[in-house]
Amino acid sequence: MTTVGILGGGQLARMLALSGAPLGLRFLVLDTAGDACAGQFAPMVVGDYTDQAALAEFASKVDVATFDFENVPAESAQWLAQRVPVFPSPRALAVAQDRLAEKTLFRELGIPVPQFADVPTREALDAAIAAIGTPCILKTRRLGYDGKGQFRLKSAADADAAWAALGAQAATVGLILEGFVRFERELSVVAVRGRDGEFRAWPLTENWHVDGVLSASLAPAQTDAALADTAHAYARKLAEALDYVGVFALELFCRDGELLANELAPRVHNSGHWTIEGSETSQFQNHLRAVLGLPLGDTRMLGTACMLNWIGQMPGAAPVLAEAGGHWHDYGKSPRAGRKVGHATLRAGSANELAAALARVGQALGRDAQVAPVIERLG
């Protein structure tokens, strides 16, 4: 009996556990919150990620460890890695935890990035604004997610407000200034690399965000094949450079037909949730296969798929369940503003059928605005 340990017990851990059940796997989740939603399907150790006793108990009970939460302190990941195999490696995790380190690596690998600069001080912010221009975005280097820890500057006159919002964090998690990219599209590559170096990627996905939080994903992205090939080549180069094991997502902006890398998520990713029903092998299943050294599954698509995120509270399931290709995921969380509580995936045999299903669901749930950009793209 193999036990997979997961650091972090949110919906990603929950979907990993659900996906691993047919493989006969056991799971153990470490989370700071006793009511973490993965705990409904897996035993838990409750404790802080820096708590030696909790880490020691976790390490003693698992055969391999992986992450649902990318901000586990690098030292904790390293401590664990001395006791049990940890995938992805603490080094890959450390790079992906720091926007400055990841963007520097992207650039070294020849992967284009938005303009960026380290901002250790207030003076450095002025210098960075002068160098990069406006509009731009000040972000924390570490610990940001769902658009948190970001401040958008329209002009240099916003520097004081930006510093008031985030300046205190320059000395703790660090700050980075990025040029604001007027992109036509946001895309992501969700890919997996095995312990033996085998690399597979799912078709390129297009993503729409609202207030910095993912709202909808469409796969395959309606782009030309050359763009998808370039995106996949970037993902592969990155995975090889980091000797990455497991699933990851590379978030990309497409501006004037060119790709710019935004960030690397060192884990299964929200923009890959459609793979549960939309692909021969889901990202969750392939992540488990990768970290266990099992053969990777085929990443081909089964039709066209759109994932809709449910933020704050769950809508009624019936309109989605009434669709032939409708699939429902309720993470079992209590409602809270801005919280990811569930998602739906609609799968269809053609773009037209998918657009029609999205229109029906959007109308029935009063979510026309959420489905509109996807329907427009499906044309």
186 binds, among Mg ion, ligand ATP, none (CB under 5 to 8 A by kind): ligand ATP
181 touches which of ligand ATP, Mg ion, none (CB within 5 to 8 A by kind)? ligand ATP
- Asked whether the bond before 88 is cis by omega within 30 degrees of 0, the reply is yes
**Residue 144 interacts with ligand ATP (CB under 6 A): yes or no:** yes
Q: Which of 62, 12, 67, 69 is nearest to 41 (CA)?
A: 12
Question: In this structure, are strands 26-31 and 44-46 parallel, antiparallel, or unpaired?
Answer: parallel
Binding of ligand ATP by 262 (CB under 6 A): yes
Which entry of ligand ATP, Mg ion, none binds 180, CB below 5 to 8 A by partner kind? ligand ATP
Piece of 156-164, 170-178, 189-197, 247-255 that binds Mg ion (CB under 5 A): 247-255
216 binds ligand ATP (CB under 6 A): no
Strand pairing report for 3-7 and 64-67: parallel
- Indicate the DSSP class of residue 334: P
**Tokens 């660090």, residue located:** 174
Element (H, E) at 184: none
Angle formed by the axes of helices 99-108 and 225-241, to 10°? 110
CA pair distance 151, 159, nearest whole angstrom: 10
Q: Is 99 annotated as a binding residue?
A: yes
Question: CB-based contacts of 172: which residues, under 8 Å, 6+ apart?
Answer: none
- By beta-carbon proximity to ligand ATP, the closer residue of 68 and 263 is 263
Residue nearest to ligand ATP (CB): 181
Alpha carbons 88 and 91: distance in angstroms, whole number: 8
**Cβ at position 167, least distance to Mg ion in Å:** 21
Q: In whole angstroms, how close is the CB of 144 to Mg ion at the nearest point?
A: 6
**Interface pick for ligand ATP out of 180, 255, 280, 339 (rule CB under 6 A):** 180
Report whether 108 belongs to an annotated binding site: no
Q: Which is nearer to ligand ATP, 258 or 298 (CB)?
A: 258
183 is in an annotated binding site: no
Residues forming a β-bridge with 205: 188
H or E element in which residue 179 lies: strand 175-179
Q: With respect to ligand ATP, which residue has the nearer C-beta, 206 or 353?
A: 206
Residue 203's nearest CA partner among 217, 219, 218 is 219
Residue among 265, 267, 271, 290 at smallest CA distance from 220 = 271
Q: Judge whether 243 is annotated as a binding position.
A: no
Is 327 annotated among the ligand-binding residues?
no
| Residue 181 lies near ligand ATP (rule: CB under 6 A) | yes
Residue 145 in contact with ligand ATP, rule: CB under 6 A = yes
Q: From residue 258 to residue 277, what is the string marking binding to Mg ion with x (rule CB under 5 A)?
A: -----x--------------
212 binds ligand ATP (CB under 6 A): yes
Q: Site residues (CB under 6 A) for ligand ATP? A: 114, 137, 144-148, 178, 180-181, 186, 209, 212, 251, 262-263, 265
